[in-house]
Chains A and B, each alone.
Chain A
Amino acid sequence: KAGVTQTPRYLIKTRGQQVTLSCSPISGHRSVSWYQQTPGQGLQFLFEYFSETQRNKGNFPGRFSGRQFSNSRSEMNVSTLELGDSALYLCASSFVFRSSEGGYTFGSGTRLTVV
């Protein structure tokens, strides 16, 4: 059974550019969550989607956005990149939104470097 797939694995972007990251959840999983991980802040919640609807959103500026498609694949977008956006971005999928009896499964992450 395929795991959570995140693409690309690595990205280098210039300040002011925008970037789109992709996440394909485990087949049958309908909930996708995104996290930002930095050495200083640890794992910070970005947003969570279920059935194409954003259910929760973390305390990030509006430059961070996301969406989920009908096949449960999700994308997140960061516009007007800043140096502080350099981080490991992790995606996690779970079977359902309110009853995660199976827990969360994470992808390998996308390492974003802003120069």
Chain B
Amino acid sequence: KQEVTQIPAALSVPEGENLVLNCSFTDSAIYNLQWFRQDPGKGLTSLLLIQSSQREQTSGRLNASLDKSSGRSTLYIAASQPGDSATYLCAVHRGNYGGSQGNLIFGKGTKLSVKP
């Protein structure tokens, strides 16, 4: 059974700081890994998708890395802004395993608060 863990569960930082969110998974046989953002009461917005053959992906101030062998991914946010305040979710795609967990396995998320 694939398990995804995100640390920390919550994080509060002053505006302008660079920060790192962590995601770990127990089974390295993944197809890809996706980072999402969720604002309160809203759906999930995809931030970055890293294929299993890739090491990192970048979009604007966001950079996500993937180390399959160690079962880890990090999301780096540069120069944080109050608008970055949200819950960030990491999800691994297990390819065609499926089963009762489904193909996309989520962590519990990191709730980020950026103070002005």
Contacts and interface: CB of A to CB of B under 8 A. Distances in A.
Contacts of A98: 95-96
Size bracket of the A interface: 20 to 34
Interface stretch (A14-22, A50-58, A62-70): A50-58
A109 B42 contact: yes
A109 to B, nearest CB: 5
Contacts of B98: 48, 55-56
A103 B99 contact: no
B31 A90 contact: no
A33 interface: yes
A59 B93 CA distance: 18
A42 B111 CA distance: 13
Contacts of B46: 103-106
Interface in B100-116: 100-104, 106-109
B51 interface: yes
A6 B49 CA distance: 23
A58 B32 contact: no
A53 to B, nearest CB: 12
Nearest to A48: B102
A103 B90 CA distance: 12
B76 interface: no
A56 B43 contact: no
Interface of B: 31-32, 34, 36, 41-46, 49, 51, 89, 91, 93, 95-96, 98-104, 106-109
11 contacts: A33-B104, A48-B98, A56-B103, A58-B102, A90-B43, A100-B32, A103-B34, A104-B91, A106-B43, A106-B46, A109-B43
